[in-house]
Each structure stands twice: as structure tokens, then as C-alpha cells.
Chain A
């Protein structure tokens, strides 16, 4: 028998636990997928070392047994999972250094880029979405609508290269700006990535607000004499927020792949650049480690966002 005082907490706790468990399940699935996808080609990553003359056949044989490539696939899979549990991602084929260390060195610049870009996207996405959704007929709302459509459609690479051209033109017109842009470092890449990521958030908030604007509770609020600002902030935005939180987490997916492009465009060091060079070199332990990290970050943000949305909106706590 549950005492009445316990019930509301359980109603929140049980769905949260369920979500946590399913998060662990998807993470495991993602790790398995990373393992399978890298072996789908059936290629042997050590062969390219041999072909490039970077290693002798004896060294290759030693490397193969060290990497466990001479084992059958199921045994390799067990080795891989066991390594993950110990926090061991293997060693780079090219540098021979630990993958964990290699990734750790590049973590900070990417984290900095993703964090600033996330802040930009949330501020910009909220602003554009609210303006476009709350004033759909006004000039400001229409321009916000057009801007968010552009932000969703224009690829990050195009946006970034455009930003460099504009920044260069600005710097030529006002030379002091050049020093500022150079010292800014993260500013231009983060702005690029943030703008690109803001589009989806803005469009979701806009759609939610448009849907809410005709709702009876808003008409009722207006009839009670609730002011415009309070109606927007307290009544109209509230049901949209859980959706916005879920979307902000989806931004994590966008930022994960967006940093790959942004780092290439701006020639910035980071995990994305490391991923691209490792793919081109066929350095598969590094690729595998990076994808494992991405999958972990992604499933953790998804689970966190879902749980935050559940806390914000009681309707989401029912099992679907």
C-alpha cells in the first residue's frame, strides 16, 4: 500500500528510471553499431600500413594480434566491450599512442566550440521562434520566419565560408577588427554553428506558439485582462517548453556532426578534425573511440532532456 504522500514522487521516479534504463539500452546498441559499421567493409586496417610501406609484414602480424584482428568477430566484440568497461579504447595505428589520450587532447577546443554554439543557438532560436510565432502578421515576425528558414536550409559549410569572407571584408575595411577576430578564436566558428543550429529550435517554438495562440486558455487569459507579456511568457510558452527542451537536446546531435564541419571550415583543432583525418588515414581505433564518445554524449543528453521534459510536463510521464 502506497501512502498518499509517496505517490506523487513515485509517479515521477518510475518513469525517470524507465527512461534511464532505455538510455543504457540505446547506448549499448550504439556501441554495437559502431563495432559492426567499422567492420562492414571487411577491410583490414593494417593492410594500408603495409601498402604504404610504414610497417614490415612481421610488424603487421604483431599489430594484428595485438589489436585482436586475428580473432573471430564474436571474440573481437567481447574484447571491445571488455576494453570499454575498463575505459580502454586501444591504440592509434599511426602514432601508437593511447586513443583515450589522443581524444583527451582534442576534447577542450571542441567542447568550447560546442558550448558557445549551443548558447548562441538557444538565445537565437528562442528569439526568432518567439518573434515569428507571436507576431506572425507583423514585419518582424515575417523576417524572423524567413531567417529561421534560411538557418535550417543553408549548410554549415556554406555558412562558415561565407562568415570568413564577410569577416575578411570587415577586417579590410576596419583593420583593428582583424586583431579582434583573430584573438576571438572561437567566436566566428561558434557563431556559424550556433546560427545553423538555431533554425530547428526556432521553427519548433514558432509552430508551438502558433498552435497555442488560438487555444481557449489564451482567449480566457485575455478575457481576464492578463497583459500581453504575461500571456506570452506564462500561458503560451509554457506548453511549448518541454518540446523546446527536447529539441535543445536534439541540437546535441546537430552540434556533434556540426563541429566536424565547422572545425574543417575554420581549420580549428578538435575532435571533428581528428575524426576526418582518422577516417582518411584508416586509423580505425581512433574512429571507433570517437564514435563511442559521440554515442555516449548523445544518449546521455537525450535521456537527460527527456527526464527534464517529464519534470516540466506531467503529460509526458504516462508510458506511451
Chain B
């Protein structure tokens, strides 16, 4: 068990470091992300700790601000997924039979297209840009989350305290918000973490495909895409953002797994 705890600690440390670095980006670098600071592909020197990218811009600054864009965009997308999907699941459970079948019909239809393709489709409909990607990934994940959230709420609904609350005269909205939602939290929290990992993967995949629109602003997926042209002479241009993306996804998966395991009670 200690081994598992170790990997969770590493995952937590990585997530904290990445979030802190993205938040404190202006304090950690003095260079901008758009202006060149030296020759293209210059090696590291004082002031530019990781050297420059293919256009002579400071790689360290771009990684910091790129992380900000990737983490921020995927967090917004995941929030959209969780709020929309969670709401649909809750409404389906408390809304009665017809509402439930309608929600299920919409959800199952949307699930007939794989999530990432659905996101690609929405990007095609809305036009390529980072805000569009956020919207597309958020909407792309919502049907899957709604289905799983509905199951979590359904399980909660059979509890006796729900029947008791209804018997005491609590309306559907009150039962949903005061009883179903808080009690489903242990199931919903790891699910939300898993969907964050999915959003992060989706966002960076779509930006890697070059769908973020403006390539001057750094973002990890876009940076990997731009660095591809120098894959063999400057592999670190691709490898650094790539490793950061992989580490973040693996860490969030590990944390979601830790959240999903029942906590040992003090008596055990």
C-alpha cells in the first residue's frame, strides 16, 4: 500500500507544482512569450534557462504561459462538462419518467459519436480557436458525464432519507439540491477528476492538431505541433511540453483513482 501512496504523493506534488508555476508565471520569468530574445534554437544561457524555440522566443517563458493556457482551458472545459452533465443527470433523476427518457435519449444519441470526434465536429461548426476548443471539449464530455452522474443519483435516490425527506414535504428541487447532490459527492468527485484528465487530453489534442487558431500564443499542444518541424534537431521543443502533458494526465488519473478508493476508517 505504501507504494500506491507514494505514487499518489508524486502525482499531487506534480499537479501542485504545475498549477503554482502557471499561476506565478510572471514572477518566474522576465521574458515575454511573443518577442524573440535570441537566435532561433539557441542553447541555454543566463536569462534563458532552456534556450530559445524555433523562432528565437524564450522556451521557459513559453512553457510557463503555455501551461497556463492548457490548464486554464481544460479546467473551463471540464467545469462545463461537470455542470452541464451533472445538471442533466440530476434533472433526469428527479424530473420523473418522461424527463428521464428524454434526457437519456439525448445523451445516448450524443454518445453515438465518440467524444473527441464530437469535439472536432463542434470545432468545425464554430470555427477553430482556443475558446471554441474549450466549448467543444466541454460539450463533448457532457453526455458521458451525464450518464454516469445519473447512475450515481439513481443509487442515492433509493436511500431511506430521501423517502423521509419527501414524506416531510420536501419538494423535488429541495430533495435534489439538499439531499441527492451532497450525498452523491463521493462518487462525483473522482468522476469529475477523471473528466478533467479527459478534458486536458482533449484540449491538448485539438490544439496539437493545429485547431487553436493563433499560434503566437503558447499552449502545450500548439507548442508540440510547432516543434514537430524540428523534431530531430531540437527534440526538446516537442519533448518538454509533451512530457508535461503526459505527466499531468497520469497524475490526475492517479489522484482520481485515490479519490475513488474508500478511505480506511480510523478503526481499521
Contacts and interface: CB of A to CB of B under 8 A. Distances in A.
A41 B125 CA distance: 5
A143 interface: no
Nearest to A31: B112
Interface residues of A, number: 48
A260 B228 CA distance: 16
Contacts of A264: 208-210
B104 to A, nearest CB: 12
B114 interface: yes
A239 interface: no
B121 interface: yes
Contact of A33 (B109, B124, B253): B109
Contacts of B246: 153-155, 158
A305 to B, nearest CB: 14
Interface stretch (A117-125, A219-227, A277-285): A277-285
Given A276-B211, A280-B211, A161 B224 contact: yes
Interface in B211-266: 211, 221, 224, 228, 231-232, 235, 238-239, 242-243, 245-246, 249-250, 253
Contacts of A276: 209-211
Contact of A40 (B120, B122, B210, B221): B122
A205 interface: no
Interface string A62-82: 000000000000000000000
A29 interface: yes
Interface string A28-42: 011011100111110
Contact of B112 (A164, A280, A299): A299
- Of A32, A164, A280, A299, the most chain B CB neighbours within 10 A belong to A280
Contacts of B74: none
Contact of B205 (A43, A161, A261): A261
By CB atoms of chain A within 10 A, which of B115, B201, B209 has the most? B209
Interface string B103-127: 0010011111111111011111111
A164 B245 CA distance: 18
Given A161-B238, A282-B127, A260 B108 contact: no
B52 interface: no
Given A33-B110, A161-B238, A294-B117, A153 B127 contact: no
Nearest to B252: A153
Interface string B22-39: 000000000000000000
A38 B113 contact: no
Contacts of B117: 256-257, 260, 291, 294
Contact of A261 (B209, B228, B245, B249): B209
Contacts of A154: 246, 249-250
B120 A155 contact: no
A88 B185 CA distance: 48
B190 to A, nearest CB: 15
A240 B80 CA distance: 35
A165 interface: yes
Contacts of B123: 279
Nearest to A299: B112
Interface in A243-291: 253-254, 256-257, 260-261, 264-265, 275-276, 278-280, 282, 284, 287, 291
18 contacts: A26-B108, A26-B112, A34-B121, A37-B121, A37-B122, A38-B124, A43-B126, A149-B250, A150-B250, A152-B253, A153-B246, A154-B250, A157-B205, A165-B231, A260-B120, A287-B124, A295-B113, A298-B113
Interface of A: 26-27, 29-30, 32-34, 37-41, 43, 149-150, 152-158, 161-162, 164-165, 168, 253-254, 256-257, 260-261, 264-265, 275-276, 278-280, 282, 284, 287, 291, 294-295, 298-299
Interface of B: 105, 108-118, 120-128, 201, 204-205, 208-211, 221, 224, 228, 231-232, 235, 238-239, 242-243, 245-246, 249-250, 253
Given A43-B126, A165-B235, A294-B114, 18 more contacts: A29-B112, A30-B109, A37-B122, A37-B125, A41-B126, A153-B246, A155-B242, A155-B245, A156-B205, A157-B242, A162-B242, A165-B231, A257-B116, A264-B208, A265-B228, A276-B210, A276-B211, A282-B124
